[in-house]
Chains A and B, each alone.
Chain A
Amino acid sequence: MASATGKSFVGRFGVHLAVLVFVAIWTVPTLGILVSSLRDKDQIVASGWWNSFASSTQNGAGRLPAASAQTQKDGKYVIEGNIFGDEPKREISAFGVKAAAPTQYKAGAAADLGDGVTLQVNADGGFVLSSPKAFEGDRGQRVYYASSAPPKFTTENYKNVLLSQGIGRSFMNSLTVTIPATVIPILIAAFAAYALAWMRFPGRALLIAVVIGLLVVPLQMSLIPLLKLYNGVGTFFGVPSKTYLGIWLAHTGFGLPFAIYLLRSYIAGLPREIMESARIDGASDFEIFVKIVLPLSFPVLASFAIFQFLWVWNDLLVAMVFLGTAPDQIVLTAQLNALLGSRGGNWEILTTSAFITIIVPLIVFFSLQRYFVRGLLAGSVKGG
């Protein structure tokens, strides 16, 4: 195919460039939250994350100490100190005394405030306010300034969201939901798939058609009846209606059609001779399944496991309907959704939480991409 197009230098260069643009569009958004999650929270709002390696400029304001702090020096009344006080020092580039002109004077210059009063603010934040007359009043002079800070990266955000924003707990909840909801369907589907592929019984074709039909039934069709059913069962037995067991079974049910479909088409493609010779040797269906079909089906079982894992881990809808929102049940996606509502502007929390929710799928995805792609192909290109 390489010979088909792009023979000219310009053509080849164009292809590289186009792919590069696509790759950039598809990776930069994720990169944005990764970089932001590692930045200092004040810097996130002070400059775009793409500038995070440059010093960030920030406008600030402060009030100088009141008249009580004044001393007398060379016949003048003077108030001295540092604008930043005990806070971390930043570099001041300009300052002013009016909100309308916050950067009127360069750092180090002496501003004339009238009546012989002068204010000098140095780059390091040190200031000298001097006046021929004594200062009065208990409110100090207001000062505005533009300052820059060197890039600052931190893991503080991760510590914060894991421990204080409930993300650590919901990470565990997500694992609690996902692992059983991935393992349980595999066994059930594998047996059914074997029966549908290799055993003869009346109604088999109909069952296959039903499974294929159910593949596309929207989840929305199941929600209300199951919610009613769960509430009914809960009331009848006097148990909570929102339980981990409930959501495991729900995910099992919703994942089964795809599992059976995927496994059946793979198992049906296994060589007939192996089955027949095993049968002639006196092996029962159960033995054939356990000793021959299961080991041979490992690749497709792995494919389905990855699919189901990603689907359950990333699910929000099923978790919102069948699990509670208390800290002991809320899953990562639901917690992230809740934070979006309550912490809308706190990007240090949102970006960090988002990155924690996507890190597990990304690891699974990158380490097992081969199986994932195989499953994708088998699942959508019917019959191959």
Chain B
Amino acid sequence: MAAQIFSAIFVIIIGVGGCVAYFWGANKLLDMIFPSRGVSGTAAVDNLRRQGLVRPWLFVGPAMIILTIYLIYPVVETLRLSFLDRGGEHFVGLANYQWAFGDHDFRNSILNNILWLAVVPAACTFLGLIIAVLTDKIWWGTIAKSLIFLPLAISFVGASVIWKFIYEYRGEGQVQIGLLNAIIQYFGGQPQVWISLPFWNNFFLMIILIWIQTGFAMVILSSALRGIPEETLEAAVIDGANPFQIFWKIMVPQIWGTIAVVWTTITILVLKVFDIVLTMTNGQWNSQVLANLMFDWMFRGGGDFGRGATIAIIIMIAVIPIMVWNIRQANKETGGH
């Protein structure tokens, strides 16, 4: 283990040192090839211009290379693989897509994903907004927000263990040590194996993600609410608006843009949700989702890359509208820069 720590530190030094050496060295080299000092006036101007042409590429070069290898090439390759067979050797046309839409697990995953998309972003945004508004009114609001924000730091696997403990079921006659079943029993209900109830188990898994992500929505929306001019709210109070009218008719419309950002961010997260399903049910009892199904096909029986890639493409297609919207928003904002 000591050797591992040592090698990790060594690699950090090599890696960081290498980066520094590259940027510093490449920059020095450019200055040497096109010197701007100690040469005649026109030559210096020419060389400065040439430096200006090359230098930006030295700066963005490493990032571009890594982005190309790790994101751009894979997108193209995944698209290509989705038309090939399991080993990625023979062209099979649309066979993988045909398989997907006929496959029980895949259809189940699509339906579950739609369910997740309908519930989780809405629940997180709504709860986040409510908590943001409420905590703004009380003296211990900051502490409350910190505590609600806290699950955002917890891994999906850790959160799954936390909630699995809450959903824990013990056979009849045994003490229920899961909080949920204990509460149900206290009120005279019948303890259940919550995560194996088809259809409803989806909601028990969603609660975990909502529990994690509400803090995110709360923080963003809370800061947007602070941006609403005080006068607007005061005017509404003077006009006799009640708290609910102020919330729905003044606050929500004012921060509509931020709500959209929170909503889309969580939507993308939901499309990629994997860890929670893997650790809680691994797709059993009809709780499968696309990301976990894809992981399954990547390794099942040595791996079927064609089908795995096809599922990835389906996830990608769902993301594309958000991607286009993001780029257009960004272009609007940086247009003047």
Number of interface residues of A (CB under 8 A): 124
Residue of A nearest to B27 (CB): A286
Chain A residues in 8 Å Cβ range of B141: 19
> Which residues 1-40 in B have Cβ within 8 Å of A in the complex?
1, 4-5, 8, 11-12, 15-16, 19-20, 23-24, 27, 31
Is A376 among interface residues, defined by CB-CB distance under 8 A?
yes
Chain B interface: which of A79-87, A121-129, A152-160, A241-249? A241-249
With A209-B331, A216-B326, A260-B63 in contact, do A19 and B135 touch (Cβ < 8 Å)?
yes
Q: Report if A201-B8 is in contact (Cβ < 8 Å); known contacts: A216-B268, A223-B312, A284-B31.
A: no
Contact of B23 among A173, A187, A218, A321 (CB under 8 A): A187
Interface 1/0 per residue, A198-215 and B, CB below 8 Å: 011100110111111111
Closest to B170 in A: A45
A-B contact count (CB 8 A): 360
Say which residue of A208, A210, A364, A380 sits within 8 Å of B334 (CB atoms): A208
Mark the stretch among B70-78, B91-99, B101-109, B115-123 that contacts chain A. B70-78
Residue from A26, A217, A257 in contact with B319 in the complex, judged by beta carbons closer than 8 Å: A217
Contacting pair B153 A192 (CB below 8 A): no
Q: Which residues of the partner chain A approach B140 to less than 8 Å between Cβ atoms?
A: 19
Query: At the interface, yes or no: B254 with Cβ under 8 Å from chain A?
Result: no
Are B312 and A224 touching (Cβ within 8 A)? yes
Given contacts A220-B312, A224-B309, A365-B150, contact A382 B237 (CB under 8 A): no
Cβ contact within 8 Å between A1 and B136: yes
Q: Assuming the A-B contacts A333-B155, A347-B165, are A172 and B5 also in contact, with contact meaning beta carbons closer than 8 angstroms in the complex? A: yes
Shortest Cβ gap from B179 to chain A (Å): 6
Give the Cβ gap from B326 to chain A, nearest Cβ, in Å: 6
Contacts known (A260-B63, A381-B258); A27 close to B78, Cβ less than 8 A: no
A218 vs chain B, min Cβ distance (A): 5
Report if A221-B57 is in contact (Cβ < 8 Å); known contacts: A228-B88, A357-B158.
Answer: no
Q: Return A281 CB to nearest CB of chain B, in Å.
A: 14
Q: Are B16 and A187 in contact (CB under 8 A)?
A: yes
Selected from B162, B166, B179, the residue in CB contact (under 8 A) with A354 is B162
What's the nearest-Cβ distance from chain A to residue B334, in Å?
7
Distance to closest chain B CB from A260 (angstroms): 6
| A188 with B62: CB separation less than 8 A | yes
B16 touches A340 (CB 8 A): no
Chain A residues near B330 (CB, 8 Å)? 208-209, 212, 382
Cα of A210 to Cα of B73 in the assembled complex, Å: 13
> Given A350-B161, A358-B155, A361-B153, do A32 and B166 touch, yes or no (CB 8 Å)?
yes
User: Assuming the A-B contacts A29-B166, A253-B69, are A245 and B11 also in contact, with contact meaning beta carbons closer than 8 angstroms in the complex?
Assistant: yes
Q: B74 to A222, Cβ gap below 8 A?
A: yes
- Residue picked from B63, B77, B78, B220, most chain A C-beta under 10 Å: B63
Tell me how far the C-beta of A5 lies from the nearest C-beta in chain B, rounded to whole angstroms. 4
**CB within 8 A of B272: which of A28, A218, A260?**
A218
A213–B59 contact, CB under 8 A? no
Contacting B at CB under 8 A, from A165-195, are: 169, 172-173, 175-176, 179-180, 183-184, 187-189, 191-192, 194-195
Chain B contacts with A in 142-187, Cβ cutoff 8 A: 144, 146-158, 160-166, 168, 170, 175-179, 182
Other than the given A11-B243, A220-B311, A225-B81, 10 more pairs (CB < 8 A) read: A5-B246, A29-B211, A30-B151, A30-B154, A189-B63, A217-B323, A285-B59, A320-B295, A350-B165, A377-B220
26 contacts between A and B (CB under 8 A): A26-B151, A187-B16, A187-B20, A188-B62, A192-B64, A194-B59, A195-B56, A199-B52, A201-B57, A218-B272, A218-B315, A221-B312, A221-B315, A223-B74, A223-B294, A224-B81, A228-B77, A248-B11, A253-B70, A289-B59, A313-B155, A314-B157, A337-B279, A361-B155, A365-B150, A377-B223
4 A-B pairs with least C-beta separation: A253-B70, A314-B155, A192-B63, A5-B243
